[in-house]
Amino acid sequence: MKSFLVYFTMQLKRIVKIFPTILCTTLLLCSVLGLGVAMLLQADGEDERQLKVSVGLVGELDTYMGYDINVMLDVLSSRFGAEFVSVTEKEARQRIHNGTMSAYVLLPEDLVENISMGKNDKPITYVTSDGKRGISGIVMDEVVTVIAELITCPQSSIFGMQNYLRDVGREDEIWQATEELNIIYITALIDIYKMGDREIIGMANQVSTAGYYACSVVVIFLIMSGLNCSSLFSGNKMGLCKLLVSKGQKVGNQVLGEYLAYFLLLLTFFCMVIAVVLGAASAGLFSVPELGEMNLGEMLLFVLQFIVVVGVISALQFLVYEMVEGVVSSILVQFILAVALGYIGGCFYPLSFMPEGLQLLGGLSPVGAALKYADLCLVQEAAWKELGLLVIYLVLFLLLTIWIRKRRVENEAAL
């Protein structure tokens, strides 16, 4: 026990000796990650603005119905995800080719006549390019359906009302009735957003978008931190390992002593990152609703729960250090592993965005389980299943590291 403590203390000393270098690299990493997140958030904001896709309207817009369409679009323009422009079909096609227009809606020539005859058998055509399919295409389909309903239904009722009044000889009331219906129609459009409430339930694992980003950034930071200590732990000197074994310090004790020191280092970084995140949140730079709802005790509990994630990620990185010899190889492998696990674990995109098979794989991966556990802890939900999985991973990684170290010592000694 004494010799284990001495060895553990030596590992801490090693870390302390090169801590300034590790800290500088970590700060650099933090800056890059912070910049990445800031750009991501800014891009998100711009995306929202850019999401207002341009849609052309081709057809009879100089009729009475065209007047109504223009009124509707003027009233609703700020509320649609699309911007509607009156264009000719040729111009619309040209703009689609140029990429300045996403799609156009072709209103059939005799649409007005058909509606006035009480028919609606001439469909409104939606034209787009192949490249606009996908999510934006689906959104546009929905927009066109809504527009078609908004245009044809009120117009049908107005023309129907006008025909009825003509049939019953009350032609002098037509314009007043039309005006009244138009007012009802426009009022309804103005109040369209009062017709229902929307609730955003978050991006993944029940957390808000900000909460998801906060947990993801911390997890990404942790998995990237493996790059910093490659010079310290990769390519372990077999001379020392052999001498330690000959003096009764078993391989398991060696690995545990080194791992604990590395875990403490990562825990220090984690505390620094959490302090920055909480500091930035309290300074109002961004808000994580879940953190805002926590009292001090709950926040402390969340930080303590997160330590399991630090433990698993440090064990995984330690396993890589043991497997890969050479600093450069270790840095490369740590980086590739961090990106790959971050991706399939849902750190860059929520798992729900991924194909079903990848969702399952990602959820079971160490980083996926860690992220889900962190998310559930953030919303203060029970996460026993994820905790169990993480503990299994932790034990598995440490056992694998010990096994590999034993094999390496044996190989070295026998050759």
Partner 1 sequence: MYQTGIEIAGIKKNYKSKTILKDITFQAKRGSCVGLLGGNGSGKSTLLSIMAGVLKSDAGSFLYAGEDLLQKKVLAEKVIGYVPQGNPLMEELSAWDNLRLWYSKEELCRELESGVLKMLGVDEFIKLPVRKMSGGMKKRLSIGCCVANNPEILLLDEPSAALDVVCKERIYSYLETYKSKGGIIILATHDTQEIELCDKCYILKDGRLKEYQYDGDIHHLAGCL
What is the DSSP code (8-state) at residue 54?
E
In this structure, the number of other CB atoms found within 10 A of the CB of residue 238 comes to: 14
**Of 9 and 125, which has the nearer Cβ to partner 1?**
9
Of 49 and 237, nearer to partner 1 (C-beta) is 237
Shortest distance (Å) from residue 412 CB to partner 1:
8
Quick one: 152 or 249, whose CB is closer to partner 1? 249
Measured from the CB of residue 47, what is the shortest distance to partner 1 in angstroms? Answer: 47
CB atoms within 10 A of CB 401: 24
Cα(335)–Cα(313) distance, rounded to whole angstroms? 13
Residue 340 CB contacts under 8 Å (≥ 6 apart), including other chains? none
C-beta closer to partner 1: residue 268 or 305: 268
Minimum separation from the CB atom of position 6 to partner 1 (A): 6
Question: Which residue lies nearer to partner 1 by CB, 385 or 407?
Answer: 407
Pair of tokens at residue 231? 């010079």
Closest approach, Cβ 247 to partner 1, in A, equals: 5
Q: Sheet harboring 125-128: ordered strands across?
A: 82-86, 53-58, 103-106, 125-128
- Between 1 and 382, whose beta carbon lies closer to partner 1? 1
Kindly write down the DSSP assignment for every residue of 112-179, as one continuous string. HHHHHTT---SPPEEEE-GGG-SHHHHHHHHHHHHHHHHHHHHHHHHHHHHHHHHHTT-GGGHHHHHH
Taking the complex as a whole, how short is the minimal distance between the CB of residue 236 and partner 1, in angstroms? 10
Nearest residue (CB) to partner 1, 7 versus 373 = 7
CB of 324 to partner 1, least distance (A): 18
Helix axes 296-323, 327-344, angle to 10 degrees: 130
Residue 183 phi/psi, 5-degree rounding, is -65, -45
Strand duo 125-128 + 103-106: pairing:
antiparallel
Residue 122 or 408: which CB sits closer to partner 1? 408
333 touches 316 (CB < 8 A): no
| Nearest approach, Cβ of residue 221 and partner 1 (Å) | 24
CB of 358 to partner 1, least distance (A): 39
Binding site for partner 1 (CB under 8 A): 6-7, 10, 13-14, 17-18, 232, 237-240, 242-248, 409-410, 413-415
CB within 8 A of 181, min separation 6: which ones? Answer: 154, 157, 158, 161
